[in-house]
Structure 1
Amino acid sequence: MAGTGSTKRTGNIFFAFAPWIIFDVVAGPSTWEYAALAALVASIALNVPDFRRGKFKILEVTGVVFFAVISVLALVLDHHDLVWLETYAQAISSGVIAVVCLASLAFVPFTSQYARESTPREHWDSPVFRHINLVLTAMWSAVFVVTAVLGVVAVHTRGGSDWLNWVIPVALLVLAVRFTEHYPDRYTARQRAAVPGGVS
């Protein structure tokens, strides 16, 4: 059923976001290069099993490419040329995730790639499965759009940067994880109650 396996589903999504979280936590005016390298190593290490099986998820591939590009830029460009990246590193990383998540809505919602790992194949094309993953992907997209905007505002705000860069984004992530855990089962239960004989 589309609503089962919530623990595995959120766990896999958390691992997909882990490199980005590492980058956001470590990145700073003097540490973003190390943050990019740490995130690149995490992206590769966490995704080796999937890559070996020939499974390529959009968020994971984006992470490897993004952090590889950032790491290369840190090596080949002068510090003066990277002031913009140093200044907006956190906002840029959140913005990239937001764009990827939003773009996936037009093709394959990125959350469905993780949901399929805990959902039987016969339910992948069901209206319930598609609806759940459209909602979850839209929700994660909104979270990272807001986080990116907060990152930009923090750069231009003298006070409250900790709230804008850390406290509010972390709270949003926690809420998003909780929503991802509970929404599929609740929506599936409502659909079962509304349709005689249940739904797939």
Structure 2
Amino acid sequence: MNYLKSFLPWIAFAVVATQFDWRWAGLTGLVISVGVLLRARSEGRKPDALIIEWSGLAFFVVLTAIAFSVPASPLKNYTGALTELWLAVTAWGSILIGRPFTLGIARMMTPPESWENPLFKRVNLLVTLVWAISFTVGGVAGIALLNYAPHATFALIALKVLGFGVPAVFTVQYPRAVRARIQKAG
């Protein structure tokens, strides 16, 4: 459930973008990003558990500034794909610096004695890798669809659903499977 909170601004942005101008979608994402960050900080969440939230805030600040200053920008047609590519850069960047974005979130649900366990770190690396791959594929496929089949609305929606759904299910199921294997083994 903590993962869903992290992606709330992105989900709200996607919903608003289908009904309204990209300026209002960007502003919605920005306002919700600020709200999510303020709430998370008031709940005492640590910075390493807020990577996606801070990334979202940065994205929506930039997007909203561009959308309101250049409303006719060709970027407006690619905002869905750009959101996924931004998230891909965030996920890949967190992997490259050795701090997979899922690690901080997982620490909120795991006892501190597990945090330095190599298996705990490996599981989170793989979970973050699945998110990174999914965002990359979704973003690149979204740009391709928008260039070659811009009216393929169902395909664009399916990409979004799969782009978040597959890694979300993996995020829940993979750690459970690892825990079950450990319990069975010993």
Alignment TM-score, normalising by the size of structure 2: 0.88
* SS in structure 2 at match of 1:119: coil
> Share of identical aligned residues, percent?
31
Deviations 1:61-97 (A, max 9, x none): 011111012112223x2334x22x1121111111000
Tell me: CA distance 1:55–1:109, structure 2 relative to 1, closer, same or farther (3 Å). Answer: same
CA–CA separation in structure 2 for the residues paired with 1:63 and 1:39: 8
Contact 1:128 1:188 in 2 (8 A): no
Instruction: Report the counterpart of residue 99 of structure 1 in structure 2.
Output: 89
Instruction: Report the counterpart of residue 146 of structure 2 in structure 1.
Output: 155
CA–CA separation in structure 2 for the residues paired with 1:104 and 1:158: 32
CA–CA separation in structure 2 for the residues paired with 1:119 and 1:100: 23
Instruction: Report the counterpart of residue 122 of structure 1 in structure 2.
Output: 113
Instruction: Report the counterpart of residue 164 of structure 2 in structure 1.
Output: 173
Pairs within 5 Å for 1:141-152: 141-152=132-143
- Deviating more after overlay: 156-165 vs 104-113: 156-165
Contact 2:67 2:76 in 1 (8 A): no
Shift >4 Å, 4+ stretches = none
Pick from 36, 39, 60: which aligns with 2:26? 36
Pairs within 5 Å for 1:72-111: 72-75=65-68, 77-80=69-72, 82-83=73-74, 85-106=75-96, 107-111=98-102
Q: How many residues align?
A: 182
Letter in 1 for 2:83: S
CA–CA separation in structure 1 for the residues paired with 2:23 and 2:174: 37
Letter in 2 for 1:58: I
Q: Report the CA distance between 1:161 and its aligned residue.
A: 2.0
Query: Where does the alignment leave 5 or more consecutive residues of structure 1 unmatched?
Result: 1-10
Instruction: Report the counterpart of residue 136 of structure 1 in structure 2.
Output: 127
More RCO (CA 8 Å, sep 6+): 1
- Deviating more after overlay: 16-25 vs 121-130: 16-25
CA–CA separation in structure 2 for the residues paired with 1:44 and 1:176: 25
Contact 2:142 2:159 in 1 (8 A): no
CA–CA separation in structure 1 for the residues paired with 2:126 and 2:8: 21
Contact 1:150 1:164 in 2 (8 A): no
Q: Report the CA distance between 1:157 and its aligned residue.
A: 2.4
RMSD, aligned CA:
2.1
Q: Report the CA distance between 1:26 and its aligned residue.
A: 2.5
- Deviating more after overlay: 19-28 vs 97-106: 19-28
Deviations 1:87-131 (A, max 9, x none): 211111110000110111122110111111110001001011111
Deviations 1:36-55 (A, max 9, x none): 11111111112213234373
